[in-house]
Amino acid sequence: MAGSTFGNLFRLHTFGESHGPAIGGIVDGCPPSLVLDLDAIQHQLDRRKPGQSRITTGRKESDTVQFLSGLLGNVTTGTPIGFQLQNEDQRSGDYRELEQNYRPSHADYTFDQKFGIRDHRGGGRSSARETACRVVAGSIAMQYLKTQGIEIFAYVSAVGPIQMPLAYNQVQPALIDSNLVRCPHSESAAEMEAYILRLKKEGDTTGGVITGVIKGVPPGLGEPVFDKLHADLGKAMLSINAVKGFEYGSGFAGCAMKGTEHNDIFSGEGGRIHTLSNRSGGIQGGISNGEDIYFNVAFKPVATVLKPQQTVNKDGENVALAVKGRHDSCVVPRAVPIVEAMAALVIADHLLKQRTINNTL
Amino acid sequence: MAGSTFGNLFRLHTFGESHGPAIGGIVDGCPPSLVLDLDAIQHQLDRRKPGQSRITTGRKESDTVQFLSGLLGNVTTGTPIGFQLQNEDQRSGDYRELEQNYRPSHADYTFDQKFGIRDHRGGGRSSARETACRVVAGSIAMQYLKTQGIEIFAYVSAVGPIQMPLAYNQVQPALIDSNLVRCPHSESAAEMEAYILRLKKEGDTTGGVITGVIKGVPPGLGEPVFDKLHADLGKAMLSINAVKGFEYGSGFAGCAMKGTEHNDIFSGEGGRIHTLSNRSGGIQGGISNGEDIYFNVAFKPVATVLKPQQTVNKDGENVALAVKGRHDSCVVPRAVPIVEAMAALVIADHLLKQRTINNTL
Amino acid sequence: MAGSTFGNLFRLHTFGESHGPAIGGIVDGCPPSLVLDLDAIQHQLDRRKPGQSRITTGRKESDTVQFLSGLLGNVTTGTPIGFQLQNEDQRSGDYRELEQNYRPSHADYTFDQKFGIRDHRGGGRSSARETACRVVAGSIAMQYLKTQGIEIFAYVSAVGPIQMPLAYNQVQPALIDSNLVRCPHSESAAEMEAYILRLKKEGDTTGGVITGVIKGVPPGLGEPVFDKLHADLGKAMLSINAVKGFEYGSGFAGCAMKGTEHNDIFSGEGGRIHTLSNRSGGIQGGISNGEDIYFNVAFKPVATVLKPQQTVNKDGENVALAVKGRHDSCVVPRAVPIVEAMAALVIADHLLKQRTINNTL
Amino acid sequence: MAGSTFGNLFRLHTFGESHGPAIGGIVDGCPPSLVLDLDAIQHQLDRRKPGQSRITTGRKESDTVQFLSGLLGNVTTGTPIGFQLQNEDQRSGDYRELEQNYRPSHADYTFDQKFGIRDHRGGGRSSARETACRVVAGSIAMQYLKTQGIEIFAYVSAVGPIQMPLAYNQVQPALIDSNLVRCPHSESAAEMEAYILRLKKEGDTTGGVITGVIKGVPPGLGEPVFDKLHADLGKAMLSINAVKGFEYGSGFAGCAMKGTEHNDIFSGEGGRIHTLSNRSGGIQGGISNGEDIYFNVAFKPVATVLKPQQTVNKDGENVALAVKGRHDSCVVPRAVPIVEAMAALVIADHLLKQRTINNTL
C-alpha cells in the first residue's frame, strides 16, 4: 500500500503524470558493481514507446531516459538510481473536454472520488505513460538477473479473438520482434496486425493476452504463505494498466483436470531432480522449483474509442463524448516490455530475499 | 516479502505448521471499539474445517479459535488481537514416508531447496491448515466492513468440468450453503457433489473455480499505480494454496471483445453516477467505482491423490509413492470462506488507507 | 508504523496485555537450521522477570516461554516461530481504581485519547510486560549472531545520581550479574542497591542508564541515509518503556569537542584497518566499521510511586490517587536483557540485509 | 530498512550523490488539495544551503528545487511529488586524493566495506547534501501540519562548550533567525559565532546541540509499542548526518531524578486535561498527550578538519591526509531546518496513521 513503490529489497519508486515536466523514478536496492548496458535499457523503452509503428498510437515521445544518480559511468554503486524521462509532445488541448466529462471505463471518475482533485490532462497519474518507469527499472533488474543465469521474455499470444497456437516451450524468442505485433507465430501475427488495423479504421479497440516466460530461476525463490512467487508475479501483472486477469502454469484450464492428470511427476534422470511435465509453471507451494516459469496476462480492450459514447459529466448529467487525440487500438504489442519488466522486478526482489537464507546465491 | 504478514494497515501475521502445538496469528491494526460476534468467526472456521461433510477429508480438527489479547470481552481495543488454534488429531505416522520422498506437485521439494530443512509432517508450513488463521482474521475484517455497509460472499462456480450457469448478479447468497458444495445453483451443485464423490472413490481429485463478490464498497479505494485494488485482491487470492489464476470483471473473456462493446457507460440516472454494465468489475484504474466487485479464482486439482505415483526421494532416486492419509478430493467447497476472508482483509486494508485521504469514511 | 512489528528481515510481531490469557509473538525471518539453546532464552527471561530479587517488584510471574511453531526440536526451520507466555498472578483488583483515574506520567490518558477504549488492567498493552516477548525474540537473535562471531552485552552504568566510573572497554562482562543491580563495578553496585532499597522504603522511584556493547560486528552493516545503524539502534532503545534518551560513541559529550580531538585516526597496523580511538562508537556514516559498538540508554524514574499523588479522572476532575500494587523502584536492573534483546534484533536485521549485497557474510 | 525511504504513510524517497547531475526525491502520500507556499519551501532550503553566511562553508549551491509532478500549479493532487535539485559548483578535483585515502571519522572506509565500490566525490551518497531533499519534503509536511494547527521550530542550544541558558518554553521563535547561528539567545549566539570563526581560522571544527519543539500536536499520535512517537522522532534525528544522540523531555538528566519529582501531575483546570509540568516532553507511553513536544539532538564535530591528519589508504598503508576544499566548521546552524524537516515528516506520518483510527482528525 506504499502507493507508488514496488518491491521490498529491489525496489522501484515512481512519480509523474503524463502531462507535466517529467516522469521518473528511483531504483533502490540494486546490487553494486553491476555493469549496465544503457543502450539495452533504451531499447526496451523503445519497444514500449508510442508511435513506434503503424499499429500503435501516433503520439510521439522520444522517451529518452536520463540517469541522475547511483551510477559511476555505467556501473551501479549500490545507492539509489534516480532517473527521469522528459514529457514531450503534450497537446493538453486535446484533453480539455475531459476536465468535465468522465470517459467510460477510464479512471477519471474514480480519481475524482479518491482524491477530490484530478490532473485531467492525458489521464494524469493513471496514464499508461507511467509504465515507462517500470521498463527502466525492469531492464536494470533483467540485466542483474542475466548475471545470475536468468532470462525473461514475453510475447503476444492473443489479440482480440485471434489466439496463436504455440505452447510457451515451442516459442522461439528470436521471432518475437520479427513483426509489429510481437507474436512469435508469423501467421497469427499477420492476422492480428490486420485485425488491429481494421479496428483502428473503425475507431474501435480490442484486448489481448501476453505470455511471459522466465528461465533459469534457481529453486527456492518465493515465500511459502502470503508472498508466494506467483502471488507476487500476479500482483505485478495486475498492476499494469488494463490488465484483467493472471494465470500461471495450467491456470484456469487446470481446474477441469484430474489430479492424476495434472500432477507433475518428478524424475531424477540426468542426475538432477526435475519434473517430466510443467503444469506447475515452475512454482510449487509458492516456491520456484527450477523449471520454467510461465504465465498469461489478460488485457482488456483499450477504453479510449474514437466512436462517440454516452457518459456523464462531473455533475452527473448525461453527455455525449467524442474523444479526440491519438490512441492505441490494442496495447498488447507495446505492453510486452512492461510484462518483462514487472517479471524481472519480482524475480530480482525474491532473489535478493533468498540470499538472506542461502548465501551460495 | 514480509513472509508471514498480509496487509499494511489492517494486518495479519500468522505462524504454525499443521503438526506442532498450535497455529495462530496476530491481527494488528483492527479499529478499536468494534463489537465482535465471536460465534460468527467460529462459524466461518467451521465452514473451512476438515471433516465437515462427506465430500471433504475425513480428518477431524475442532478448529476452535482462542483469543489471547486485544479484546475486552468481545470488543476490540485497537491493540493486537492474538489468537491460536490447537493442533489435534495428528497422525504423524501417516507422514513418515514423506520425510524421504517428494510428493508430486507439492511443496516438499521446493521447501527443501529453499530452507535446507523441512518439517515434513503434514506439509508443515505449506499445509492448507494455515488458512484457518486467515479465516479468523478475515472474519474480523468482514465484521468491521459490515459496520461500513460492505458485504462479501463467495461461492463455487465450477468443479472440474462442471460450470454453473448463473452470473454473479443472479446469485442468491442465501443459497450458497444450501448444499455441501457451496454452489448456489442446486442442479449444478448436485452434479458437482456426485463428481467429487466419484473421484473420491477413484482415489483421484479435481479443481474448481470460486467466484467472489463484494458489495457496498465506496468509490475511491485502491491506489492508482502498483497497489491497484484488483492487484491486491489478485495477490490475496493467488496466495491461497492451490490457486492458479485470478480474473476480475470481464477477465480473460474480455480480451476478445471490442472497446465499444466492453466499455461500461456511465449514467447519472437516479441522482447517482453509476455504470449501466459492469465489465469493469467495480474497479476502474485500480480504484473502486462503487459498483459490485466480482472476481474468479482458479483452484488446481488437489495434488495428493491416493493412486500410486512415480516420484523421487531426497537423493534423486526414482521411487513409487502411495500416499495414505485422509485428504480432500476437491478443496473448493472448503475454500469458500478463505476467499471471503482474503477479500475482506484486502478491502479493510484499503478502507483504512483511504481514511488517510478522506475522513468522511 | 506497523504497530507491533519490529524489524524488516529478522522480524518480531508481538501481542498481549499484562492481564489476559497470554502475551506472545512471532519471530519471522530467523535463518533456518539454527540450533537454539532454549535454556539460554529462558535464562534471559529470568533476568527480566519480576520478583527476581529484593530490589525488584514483588509481583511474581514464572514467565515460561512456550514455543508453538517454527522449530523441529530445538532447530529453527526458517518458518515463523510462534511463542507465548501465560499471564499469571493477575490481581486485577489492584487496578480497579485505575479504570477511572489517570496515573501521572503513565499511558492511561494517552491510550484513552488514541483508542477511545482502554484495557486498564495493569497498563494493558503499554505494560512493560510486553518486553518479555522482546527478550524471547532477542535471545534467538543473539544466538544467531553468536554463530556469526557477534557478542552483545549490556549493564547498568547509572542509577539515580550514582554513576559507575568504568568506560565500556574496561568492563568485565562476567561481573555484570555478580550483583542484583547488574552493574559491573561492585562498589557502585552496592551504592546503587542501597539507593534503590531506600527509595523502595520511601515509596519513591528513580531512573538510570544502561550501556550496551556489541562486539564483532563486521564492517558494512547499516544503510547510508535513513536506516543508519545507530538510527535503528536508537529507535530500538527508545521503544523500550521509560526510555528518554539514546547516545552512541561520544554521544552528547562529543558535541563540545573539537574535530581534531574527536576524529578517530585510522591505522593499518597489524594488517587490518582499524581506528586508534573509538569516539565513533563503531559506526561511521551510519555503517559499522568493525570496531566495538557502544551506546547509552536513559531510563526515567518509574512513574508508579506509592506516595499519594494528585491527578484527574476521566471526566477531568481533580482527584487524589494512591496506587497500590507491587512495582519496581528502579527498572534498569531488569531492563538489561531488554536492551541486549533489542540490540540483537537490530544487528540481526541489518546482517541479513547486508547478505543481499555481500554473500560472503 | 528500505534504504532511502522514510515514513510509512507520508513517505519520502531520496536519491543522489553530491556529485552527479542532480539529487532529488519523491514525496508520496501527501494529502491532496493542499495549497503549497513554494517560496516557503525554498526559504527552508536557503536556511540549509551552503555559503549562506560567513560561518558556513564557502561552497555555493543555489539549491533551487524543481517540482516535476504531483502538483497542479501549487496545489497537491495526492499523487507522488517528484522533485530535484541540480548539482552545481562541483570541484571534483578537490576530492581526487580521497579516492585512495580514507578520511578519519567519515564514511569512506565503511562505504567501501559495505558496497565494494564508492563514489568518492564529495562524500557521494553519504554527503550531507542529501539532506536538502529532506528539507523539501519536510517543508511540505510542515505546511500540511500547519493546516492542522501544528507548529514546528528548532534552534541551536549549544555550540561546542557554549550552552544557551533558556528552556524550550522561554524561547521566542522569532529570534531564531536573528543571528547567523540560529540561537534565540543573542548573547550566547554572539559567543557561539565567535567560537566558530576562531575554529575556522584554526582549521578545526566543533559540534553542538539543536533543540526541536513541536506545538499543537493532538493527543493520540504514536503507537504504544515499537513505533512510539519519540522512538520515531529519535530515529529521524539520528538519521541526520553527524548526529550522536537524542533525548526528549527530561532526557538523560531525568535519570537522576526521583519519581515523585519527575512525574507530571495532571490537572483538569480550565476544562481541559493537561499536565502542570512537562518532563514527559509531550509524550506518554509513546503517545502524544497534547502538551509541547521538545527534544535535543547532539551533533558531533565536523569530521573534515583542514589540519593534517594521519590515516590509511585503501591498501591499509598509513598516509598523511591534508583535506582541501570548503567545509563547515560547525554544522548546527545549517542543520536547524533539517531537524525541523525530519520532525515534520514524523508527525505528518503519525497524524495520517491516527486518521485510520480517529476520523475526526
* Percent over 90 (pLDDT), chain D: 82
- Say if the Cβ atoms of A107 and B285 lie within 8 Å: yes
Q: What is the mean pLDDT of residues C319-324?
A: 84
pLDDT-above-90 percentage for chain A: 82
pLDDT band of residue D206 (cuts 50, 70, 90) is very high
Supply the pLDDT for residue C149.
97
Q: Residue C319's beta-bridge partner residues?
A: C311
Q: What CA–CA distances, in Å, run from A296 to D232, D243, D269? A: 43, 51, 67
Task: Tell me the C-alpha distance between A28 and D4, whole Å.
Answer: 7
Average confidence (pLDDT) over A344-356: 97
Distance CA C270, CA B216 (A): 71
In this prediction, residue A222 has a pLDDT band, given cuts at 50, 70 and 90, of very high
pLDDT digits (tens, 9 = 90+) for C29-57: 999 999 999 999 999 999 999 888 888 88
* The predicted structure's pLDDT at residue A123: 77
Tell me what percent of the residues of chain D surpass a pLDDT of 70: 97
By C-alpha distance, the chain D residue nearest A126 is D79
pLDDT digits (tens, 9 = 90+) for D98-125: 788 999 999 999 999 999 998 877 778 9
Set of chain C residues whose Cβ sits within 8 Å of the Cβ of B82: 15-16, 22-24, 84
Q: Does residue C275 register a pLDDT over 70?
A: yes
CA neighbor of D3 nearest in space, from D141, D79, D114, D132: D114
SS3 assignment, position A229: helix
Predicted local confidence at residue D92, as pLDDT: 56
* Structural domain of D137: 5-357
Mean pLDDT of A108-129: 88
Chains A and C form CB pairs within 8 A to the count of 30
Q: Could A31 and C357 be called an inter-chain contact, meaning their C-beta atoms sit closer than 8 Å? A: yes
> What is the pLDDT at residue A254?
97
Proportion of chain A above pLDDT 70, given as a percent: 97
3-state secondary structure at position D110: helix
List, for residues C204-219, the tens digit of each pLDDT value.
999 999 999 999 999 9
- Written as nine digits, the cell of B293 is 466487485
The predicted pLDDT at position D275 comes to 96
pLDDT in tens, D40-61: 999 999 999 988 888 888 777 7
**pLDDT tier at D262, thresholds 50, 70, 90:** very high
Mean pLDDT along residues B102-110: 93
The one-letter amino acid at C59: R
What CA–CA distance (Å, rounded) separates C245 from D238? 11
- CA angle, residues A335, D79, D49, in degrees to nearest 5: 115
- Taking the C-alpha atoms of residue B3 and residue B239, their distance in angstroms, rounded to an integer, is 11
Please give the share of chain C, as a percent, with pLDDT higher than 90: 82
Mean pLDDT of A26-36: 97
- Closest Cα partner for A7 from B230, D14, B234, B225? B225
> What's residue A89's pLDDT?
61
CA D307 to chain centre: 27
Asked whether the beta carbons of residue D285 and residue C107 sit closer than 8 angstroms, the reply is yes
Residues of B with CB under 8 A from a CB of D: 9, 29, 31-32, 78-79, 224, 352-353, 355-357, 359-361
- Write down the pLDDT at residue D359: 75
pLDDT at B337: 98
| Grid coordinates of B66 | 482462542
- How would residue C11 be classed by pLDDT, with cut points 50, 70 and 90? very high
Residue B76 contacts residue B30 (beta carbons within 8 Å): yes
Tell me the pLDDT band of B174, cut-offs 50, 70 and 90: very high
Average pLDDT, chain B: 93
Q: pLDDT value at position D2?
A: 63
- The pLDDT value given to residue B180: 96
Q: Do A13 and D32 touch (CB under 8 A)?
A: no
Handedness of CA B188, B192, B193, B194 (dihedral sign): positive
- Any idea what the CATH number is for the domain that residue C299 is in? 3.60.150.10
Q: What is the pLDDT of residue B264?
A: 97
User: What ipTM, to 2 d.p.?
Assistant: 0.97
Residue A2: pLDDT band (50, 70, 90) is low
Task: List, for residues C302-316, the tens digit of each pLDDT value.
Answer: 999 988 999 999 999
Residue range D138-178, pLDDT digits in tens:
999 999 999 999 999 999 999 999 999 999 999 999 999 99
CB < 8 Å to A84, chain D: 68, 82, 84
Residues B217-274 have pLDDT tens digits of 999 999 999 999 999 999 999 999 999 999 999 999 999 999 999 999 999 998 899 9
- A139/chain B closest Cα distance in angstroms: 17
Confidence of residue D94 (pLDDT cuts 50, 70, 90): low
Residue D327: pLDDT band (50, 70, 90) is confident
Q: Residue A322 pLDDT more than 90?
A: no
- The reply to whether residue B224 touches residue D353, judged by beta carbons under 8 angstroms, is no
Touching A (3+ Cβ pairs <8 A), the chains are: B, C, D
pLDDT confidence tier of residue B92, bands split at 50, 70 and 90: low
Q: Where are the beta strands (DSSP E) in chain D?
A: 5-6, 11-15, 22-28, 65-67, 71-72, 75-76, 81-86, 151-159, 162-163, 208-215, 243-248, 266-267, 274-275, 283-284, 287-288, 293-299, 309-312, 318-321
Residue scoring higher pLDDT (C95 or C326): C326
pLDDT of residue A93: 58
What is the count of structural domains for chain A?
A: 1
Share of chain B above pLDDT 90, in %: 82
Is residue A312 a contact partner of residue B268, using CB atoms and an 8 Å limit? yes
pLDDT, tens digit (0-9, with 9 covering 90-100), for D246-261: 999 999 999 999 999 9
Helix/strand/coil for D183: coil
The three cell numbers of residue B18 are 499443521
With bands split at pLDDT 50, 70 and 90, how would you rate the model's confidence at C2? low
Residue B354 has pLDDT above 90, yes or no: yes
Contacts of A32 in chain C (CB under 8 A): 357
pLDDT score at B2: 63
pLDDT of amino acid C326 = 74
Confidence at residue B91, expressed as pLDDT on a 0 to 100 scale: 59
Least confident of B88-92, C242-246, D220-224: B88-92
pLDDT band at residue C126 under the 50/70/90 scheme: confident
Separation CA A327–CA A95 (nearest Å): 12
**For residue A222, which residues of chain C lie inside 8 Å, CB to CB?**
none
